Amino acid sequence: VTSLLTFTRTKQGQYEWIQLVGHPGTFKEGLHDGYILKELSEKERRCCELLQHDILKDFVPKYNGTVKDEEGKHYIEMEDLLSSFHEPCIMDCKIGVRTYLEEDLDKSERDPEPRTDLYEKMIAIDPTAPTEKENEEKKILKPRYMIWRENLSSSEDLGFRIEAIKKSRGLMSKEFQRIKERNEVRKHLTEFIANSIPRATQYLNRLTQLRSTCLRSKFFQTHELIGSSLLFVHDTTRALIWMIDFGKTRLLPSNIHITHSKPWVRGTHEDGYLIGLDNLILLFQEIIND
Ligand code: ATP
Ligand code: MG
Ligand code: MG
């Protein structure tokens, strides 16, 4: 399953940079120390730039402009969130009840382009999932695949899902596609923090700060955040969380206002970002109070 591949590389023998999800080859070492390069998307670049001047700036990687490599490929240069940690544990949680854009849905209805790669991804997770027609064609429409993943995982109910976890020096796991039940999710969160109450408290504090900052943020008020993640990073001394991946974050049409917490109905642009954040907060509170 190509998009779930991962790579680990050694940066001049200093430390390993680890990419949990996304396509391999999207990231490279940055030009500056403590920075990495991510393949340029103009939409994401725009978000990174706006966020540097928003009150959310301490919750996103620092952005250092774009660069072009020898082959003419363009990248955004951003802060490597792992660089200040020692043998960190890392978790990527995709936030939101919806993981595709309304425009993708419109496009797919106007001009359906079923994909073989998505059919293959689907049967790798559950061979019984495709319909008869999909099995005949060996192809699947993107929104159908995305909605299926939301329902299979906790995205639909909890407004977030664990995409991948890497324990310090341990193995990387991406086998969370079917983690849906609240208790199961909690079990994985507890395991991720190695049952440490002080660490759960550090994460909880960061989450509540993030929530209150989101509510006051101009960026948050004017954007729909789809497919964005929270990156959890801790080592033995610190536990922090950042917002990453703004490839599918979009400026809302000027006549549309969203709450980020009402369920999505087509046309509303609601993303469920605060549903996910609130459930994460509740889960960490439960872990601490248990
Ligand atoms: P996808 O859209 O499939 O999720 P992507 O190509 O948009 O992938 P991201 O989601 O932005 O890529 O990042 C993929 C992974 O790379 C993250 O899960 C994380 O492990 C790592 N990563 C991304 N940004 C940073 C950063 N600033 N510092 C450290 N690690 C990062
Ligand atoms: Mg991502
Ligand atoms: Mg992305």
Indicate the top mutation candidate among 28, 38, 80, 93 to test ligand 1's pocket, ranked by most ligand atoms within 8 A of CB.
38
Taking residue 151's Cβ as centre, other Cβ atoms within 10 Å add up to: 12
Residues 6+ apart with CB under 8 A from 126: 152, 178
pLDDT of residue 10: 47
Residue position matching structure tokens 């991510």: 38
Q: Does residue 180 contact residue 152 with C-beta atoms inside 8 Å?
A: yes
The answer, yes or no, to whether any atom of ligand 1 lies below 6 A from the CB of 41, is: no
Count, residues in the chain: 290
Q: 249: closest CA among 224, 276, 221, 277?
A: 224
201: its two tokens: 């408290």
Q: Which long-range contacts (CB under 8 A, 24 or more apart) does 48-52 make?
A: 48/76, 48/78, 48/246, 50/219, 51/219, 51/246
Q: How far is the CA of 251 from the centre of ligand 3 (A)?
A: 16
The answer, yes or no, to whether any atom of ligand 1 lies below 6 A from the CB of 93, is: no
Taking residue 191's Cβ as centre, other Cβ atoms within 10 Å add up to: 12
3-state secondary structure of 31: coil
The answer, yes or no, to whether any atom of ligand 1 lies below 6 A from the CB of 233, is: no
Quote the distance between the C-alpha of residue 214 and its chain's center.
16
| H or E, element range at 146 | helix 142-152
pTM of the entire structure? 0.95
Taking residue 20's Cβ as centre, other Cβ atoms within 10 Å add up to: 18
pLDDT of residue 23: 85
| H or E, element range at 97 | none
The answer, yes or no, to whether any atom of ligand 1 lies below 6 A from the CB of 60, is: no
Averaged pLDDT, groups of 10, the chain, 290 residues long = 36 68 88 95 98 98 96 96 95 98 96 97 97 98 96 98 91 91 98 97 98 98 98 97 98 97 97 98 97
| H or E, element range at 107 | helix 102-110
Q: How far is the CA of 248 from the centre of ligand 2 (A)?
A: 10
pLDDT of residue 15: 61
Q: How far is the CA of 183 from the centre of ligand 3 (A)?
A: 27
* Residue with CA at minimum distance from ligand 1 atom 16: 19
- DSSP secondary-structure letter at 115? B
pLDDT of residue 5: 31
pLDDT of residue 253: 96
Residues 6+ apart with CB under 8 A from 130: 119, 122, 123, 140
* Residue with CA at minimum distance from ligand 1 atom 22: 19
Q: Which amino acid does the sequence have at 158?
A: L
30: its two tokens: 């940055």
- In whole angstroms, how far apart are CA 68 and each of 27, 30, 61, 155? 13, 11, 20, 36
Q: Which residues neighbour ligand 3 (ion) by CB within 5 Å? A: 245, 247
